[in-house]
Amino acid sequence: MFTYRSFAVLTLSLMLAQGIAPSVRASPFRGKEKSVSSGIMKTVPEKPEYESAVSIMEEGTISIPSLPDHGPSLPFINTVDDGDNSFRARGRWTVVPFAGWQSDFRFAPPKKAYMRKTAKAVWSFKNLQPGEYDVFVTWDAFSGLATDAPFNIIKNREIISHTVVNQSKPPIGEVFLGRTWQRISQINIGDVSSNRGNGIKVQLTNEANSYVAADGVAIKLRESFPQNADLSFSIKAPHAAEPGEKLQYMLSASNNGPSNAQDVMINLTYNPIFLEPIFDQPEEGGNCKIDKLSTIVCQLGDMPAGVATGTPLMFRVKETAPCEETIYTEGYIKADKPVDLQPDNNFGYAKTFIECEESEEADLSLQVIHDYDTTLGGKLKYTIDLSNAGPDTSDNTRVILSNYSKLLRFDAEVSDGRCEEIVIESFLHYSEEDLNDKEVGLSSNTIICNFGDMEPNTGITASLMFDVDREAECGSTIRNLFESDSDTNDPDSSNNNVDTKVILECYEFLEL
């Protein structure tokens, strides 16, 4: 099947094969048409509204439009893609979407073909723990790419390693994160005895015999140094259950390594108003037991690196459980040692809708229409397009924009009157002295559009207008997540979320 990615790859192949270089003054290929985002979060839209090659070529320094940094992909691997905030480019680069690692890469013509101007690409790695690291690069090979693409590793403003690679051939080396990565150097970071971290930069220039490609760089901590365990945890449960029905939860735990985890434990909290646990013995369930009211503890013992387990737990929905309520169950995993470097994936939750025989359903579908880009100090408009496919009325229907981008200020005067901004405050984990400060506890700004009841097979539109921060960084990506909800059960919630991205354009370039 011919895909957008294959089209982008074919376009680049033809350009390189024919030696075609876009004009230095060429404008970006993407147009000013509206883009429509729908469905759940996607790295690449199914139907892009712009051309398959985006040219960013004005001479000078640019801040690349990007998503937030991916961070460590594994506890001992750090990665930076050419679309991350930790990547910078200067000179004449052409962005190719729908190809390469993380769905894009960029290329530059050789220096001798560009009036002897040097194009540079820099990947930055900061606050690294001490140790010996291997440095890897990855790219999509094309016959027109350089056979001597130069990569320099810079530490404390000094080049500590220089390597050339043949980008006309595929990388040769280790396979991880779904790609093949070629090792270009081994470096030492920091002073192990003083436990101080450090950072490096990896630089690619166009001082080569043909086009060079900038995509992803990874650094991997060698296993001879102190390691840690990366535990992960998730809960799966049925989408709906009726009063009196049995309900099975599957608790999934894994240790991604690199070290073994000792005395691993899962702590699960359930709602005793809705659920009662079912064990073969009064308070025993294999390696799990009732610790106290609403809490179950499962002892998993030692867990070697690379091992995953599944622990089933059976509950019964109480006969007295009210219809059309939602059962929330959450839990977390921990180990006695070693330290978990990525605790963010140690928590999980599941929700089950209490469904009675006469439960009403309304299938909401959300789309958000918005500009693809905007400018510093400009206006940014989002148009909400919400529909109800039925079969029943959607009660108390609403669309929520939670914790929207700090680069935006909501303009209530020109926005739809059904939409209002509220401030969600949280005073958890603060001392009594901290609470005397009125600003303490400010958590996020949220916009809620209340549309009331929606009849089946009807639709609603509403517009939100924002002012863009004049002090924002050029090339930033404004990212917002919209979500539709109602008091009526939705049989298919996969089309209730929309992830939007808008690039903040600038007319002047910033220094690296």
* The pLDDT of residue 180: 94
Per-residue burial over 268-304, b if 16 or more Cβ lie within 10 Å, else e, is: bebbeebbebeeeeeeebeebbeeeeeebebebeebe
* Sign of the four-CA dihedral 388, 394, 399, 400: negative
Task: Report the 10 Å Cβ neighbour count for 332.
Answer: 16
The parent domain of residue 478 ranges over 362-505
* The pLDDT of residue 443: 54
CA-CA distance, 204 to 143, in Å (whole number)? Answer: 19
Note whether 57 and 92 are within 8 A (CB): yes
- The phi and psi torsions of 495 (rounded to 5 degrees) equal -105, 25
Note whether 124 and 87 are within 8 A (CB): yes
* The pLDDT of residue 340: 82
pLDDT at residue 48 above 80? no
Which one, of 451, 345, 347, lies nearest residue 394 by Cα?
451
Q: Which residue has the higher pLDDT, 42 or 403?
A: 403
Residue 512 lies in a domain: no
429/446 same-domain check: yes
Q: How confident is the model over 366-423, as pLDDT tens digits?
A: 999 998 888 888 899 999 999 999 899 999 999 999 888 888 999 999 999 999 998 7
169/41 same-domain check: yes
- What does the block give as tokens for 348? 């999980």
The pLDDT of 297-304, averaged and rounded, is 90
Which one, of 116, 113, 115, 202, lies nearest residue 165 by Cα?
202
pLDDT over 90 for what percent of the chain? Answer: 41
pLDDT at residue 357 above 90? no
- What does the block give as tokens for 228? 């840690």
Q: How confident is the model at residue 290 (pLDDT cuts 50, 70, 90)?
A: confident
Q: At which of 221, 239, 266 does a domain end?
A: 221
pLDDT at residue 324 above 80? yes
pLDDT at residue 284 above 50? no
Which one, of 331, 70, 342, lies nearest residue 229 by Cα?
342
Which one, of 328, 130, 143, lies nearest residue 235 by Cα?
328
pLDDT at residue 1 above 70? no
Q: CA triplet 255, 260, 261: central angle to 5 degrees? A: 70
Q: CA triplet 427, 430, 431: central angle to 5 degrees? A: 130
* Sign of the four-CA dihedral 106, 109, 115, 117: positive
Q: How confident is the model at residue 341 (pLDDT cuts 50, 70, 90)?
A: confident
DSSP 403: S
397/333 same-domain check: no
Note whether 359 and 323 are within 8 A (CB): yes
375/339 same-domain check: no
Beta-strand relationship, 35-38 and 54-56: unpaired
CA-CA distance, 476 to 502, in Å (whole number)? Answer: 8
The pLDDT of 301-327, averaged and rounded, is 88
Q: At which of 333, 354, 375 does a domain end?
A: 354
Q: CA triplet 54, 471, 462: central angle to 5 degrees? A: 70
- The CATH number for 30's domain is 2.60.120.260
Query: Which residues are CB-contacts of 441 (< 8 A; sequence separation ≥ 6)?
Result: 425, 426, 427, 430, 435
* The pLDDT of residue 113: 67
* Coil/strand/helix, residue 356: coil
Residue 181 lies in a domain: yes
Q: What is the mean pLDDT of the chain?
A: 79
The count of structural domains within the chain is 3
492/350 same-domain check: no
- The phi and psi torsions of 10 (rounded to 5 degrees) equal -65, -40
Q: How confident is the model at residue 505 (pLDDT cuts 50, 70, 90)?
A: confident
If you count them, how many residues does the chain have? 512
249/204 same-domain check: no
216/238 same-domain check: no
- What does the block give as tokens for 266? 């899962």
Could you write out the DSSP letters of every residue in 62-131? Answer: E----BPP--EEETTEEEEETTBTTEEEES-EEEEESSSGGGEEEEE--GGGTTTPPPEEEEEEEEEPSE
CA torsion angle 219 147 156 126 (round to 10): -30
CA-CA distance, 32 to 378, in Å (whole number)? Answer: 15
pLDDT at residue 220 above 70? yes
The distance between the two most distant Cα atoms of the chain, rounded to a whole number of Å, is 81
312/368 same-domain check: no
Q: Which of 6-15, 164-173, 378-387 has the lowest mean pLDDT?
A: 6-15
Residue 510 lies in a domain: no
Q: How confident is the model over 230-269, as pLDDT tens digits?
A: 899 999 999 898 888 898 999 999 998 888 888 899 999 9
Q: How confident is the model at residue 32 (pLDDT cuts 50, 70, 90)?
A: very low
Residue 41 lies in a domain: yes
Q: At which of 221, 240, 267 does a domain end?
A: 221
Q: Identify the helix (H) or strand (E) that includes residue 405.
A: none
Q: How confident is the model at residue 90 (pLDDT cuts 50, 70, 90)?
A: very high
* The pLDDT of residue 278: 85
* Coil/strand/helix, residue 143: coil
CA-CA distance, 156 to 192, in Å (whole number)? Answer: 17
CA-CA distance, 278 to 482, in Å (whole number)? Answer: 38
CA-CA distance, 74 to 177, in Å (whole number)? Answer: 9
The pLDDT of 429-446, averaged and rounded, is 54
* The pLDDT of residue 80: 95
The pLDDT of 85-106, averaged and rounded, is 91
Note whether 350 and 326 are within 8 A (CB): no
Residue 366 lies in a domain: yes
- The CATH number for 272's domain is 2.60.40.1510
Residue 425 lies in a domain: yes
Q: Which of 13-27, 124-138, 144-158, 188-202 has the lowest mean pLDDT?
A: 13-27
263/407 same-domain check: no
Per-residue burial over 201-210, b if 16 or more Cβ lie within 10 Å, else e, is: bbbbbbbbeb
244/291 same-domain check: yes
CA-CA distance, 287 to 294, in Å (whole number)? Answer: 17
Task: Report the 10 Å Cβ neighbour count for 313.
Answer: 24
120/191 same-domain check: yes
pLDDT at residue 352 above 50? yes
Per-residue burial over 472-501, b if 16 or more Cβ lie within 10 Å, else e, is: bebbbbbebbbebbbebbbeeeebbbbbbb
Note whether 389 and 274 are within 8 A (CB): no
54/175 same-domain check: yes
* The pLDDT of residue 322: 87
Q: How confident is the model at residue 188 (pLDDT cuts 50, 70, 90)?
A: confident
pLDDT at residue 178 above 80? yes
